[in-house]
Amino acid sequence: MSTPDARPLVLRGGTVLTMDDAHTVLPRGDVLVVDGKIAAVGERLDVPEGTQEVDATGGVVMPGMVDTHRHMWQTAMRGYGADWTLTQYFVWYYLEHGKTFRPEDVHAGNLLSAWEGLEAGVTTTVDWSHGLQSVDHAEAAADALLAVPGRFVLAYGNIQAGPWEWTADPAVQAFLKRRADEGKLGLQLAFDVTGDPAFPEKAAFEVARELGLPVTTHAGVWGATSDASIQLMHDAGFMTPETVYVHAASLSTDSYHRIAASGGSVSVSTESEQSAGQGYPPTWQVRKHGIPVSLSMDTSVWWSADLFSAMRTTLGADRSREHLEAHVEGNTVTQVHLRAEQVVEWATRGGARALGRDDLGSLEPGKTADVVLIKNDASPVSFPLLNPYGHVAFQAQRGDVHTVLVGGRVVKSDGRLVGYDGAAVRSAVESTVEHLRGAMGEETWQAGMNPAMPEDGDDVLDNPYTYTDYKSEDTHGARGSLFGD
């Protein structure tokens, strides 16, 4: 991963959001970093001789953000699916063109995505890598992540084969063991549970258990996974505290109780749920059950790797739901439940907790120095800085990210990425676009980007998983009411 810069570094005089247990805020604080760790947080700190100083006055110093679910391989198609629904996404990647990706295409997407996250102050990203059709693809994915000085978790997946098939492959297991021994990347297994009562995914959970890897799974996704999936995992004892339930949107209260009781966490991709249709962004539900939350951006085929956007849209979706429900009853909301402080916690510490990384997510002595400075003196949006959580959630944006440290190493400085060879990344991504476009033909390529307007009688996809014939209406039953369970 990243080697810390040899010199100690201090960020001086910023508004420091420590995100410690008490959520201590220092209005004019310093953060001292030595040997890749936070050495001290306080006011007017004494620092070792030769310490590099970064002027943080007028800015916000906070922990690096954590994205717990992003399909980084798809970043080479940035923005292509802006007008897609989940069905169109499934058809494009799962049924038709996902197979077109070569190892170098996965590499190109991951490289671009990895730099993009760092640029936005996201220091840790889970690469929900479900395009790994072969171990060569997996090597390419891992190599790209290791070429960028961020912190990454490779969540190994393959939408082209059943989880019980690819997890049984000795070459896949050997890859996972070797990469685990190297210790440079975090690792998870990434697969979905269709709800088939035969529960073929059981074998994949067993491999995860044998290898000691957490499982991340798309749960509560309209038309794909449902309460039946949670029930199967529950009955077989696979709901563990390190399990991450992505979206968890179209679920019943029983499923939320099970997630809460097992100590698992939910990765909310609000922008995705709003546009694609997995279900209503679930924070309004999961917060009632006390389920830990982290935030994620899902895929740059629609959205960018920008957790400012995730925080903002999560506040909006939760509050919008609350207002609408009150209005239906003839009431009004006088105090909103979800606060800016909470989404900043989810974007930082929530992600660290979901990944079992107690050393990340807060600025406290002894913790790993993943640090972000938001400061843009040239911007009229940078002042007055009255409510720092509100400022981060609603006012700041990726262009305001001034400095980023990963394990004490400076990876963005004065608004510019350090060591980023933009020409090389661009050239790799352009080759991938050229390959995909050529393989599909121009007409198919254009049609994919510009989906037809809806017509009566359009088919509902029963199940996007090509590796199984299992289908169930359970994944797309009528909800009965907008506002009920």
Count residues near Zn ion (CB under 5 A): 1
Q: State the Cα–Cα distance between residues 227 and 219, nearest whole angstrom.
A: 8
Residues 6 or more apart whose CB falls under 8 angstroms from that of 72 comprise 109, 110, 113, 114, 125, 127, 128, 129, 141, 145
Nearest alpha carbon to residue 4 among 27, 38, 30, 46: 38
CB of 269 to Zn ion, least distance (A): 7
| Nearer residue to Zn ion within complex by CB, 129 or 403 | 129
Cis check for the bond before 384: say yes or no (omega within 30 of 0): yes
Q: Residue 477 Cβ, how far from Zn ion at the closest point, in Å? A: 22
Query: Which residue lies nearer to Zn ion by CB, 116 or 298?
Result: 298
CB of 18 or CB of 300, closer to Zn ion: 300
Q: How far is the CB of 47 from Zn ion (least distance, A)?
A: 43
Specify the amino acid at residue 262: S
- Please count the other Cβ atoms lying within 10 Å of the Cβ belonging to residue 52: 14
Q: Pick from 85, 27, 49, 52: which is nearest to 41 by CA?
A: 27
Between residues 227 and 298, which has the closer beta carbon with respect to Zn ion?
A: 298
- Shortest approach of Zn ion to residue 124 CB, angstroms? 17
Residue 298 C-beta: closest distance to Zn ion, Å:
5
Q: Least distance (Å) from Zn ion to the CB of residue 245? A: 12
**Positions in 112-151 near Zn ion (CB under 5 A):** none
SS3 of residue 255 by DSSP: helix
Instruction: List binders of Zn ion among 273-312 (CB under 5 A).
Output: 298
Q: How far is the CB of 204 from Zn ion (least distance, A)?
A: 17
Nearer to Zn ion, 298 or 345 (CB): 298
Sign of the CA dihedral running 177, 181, 182, 184: positive
Kindly state the tokens that stand for 338. Answer: 């979800």
Q: Indicate the residue whose CB is closest to Zn ion.
A: 298
Q: Which residues pair with 373 in a beta bridge?
A: 61, 403
297 and 70 Cβ atoms separated by less than 8 Å: yes
Find the binding residues for Zn ion in span 40-69 (CB under 5 A): none
Q: Which residue's CB is nearer to Zn ion, number 98 or number 149?
A: 98
Q: How far, in whole angstroms, is CA 257 from its chain's centroid?
A: 23
Positions in the binding site for Zn ion (CB under 5 A): 298
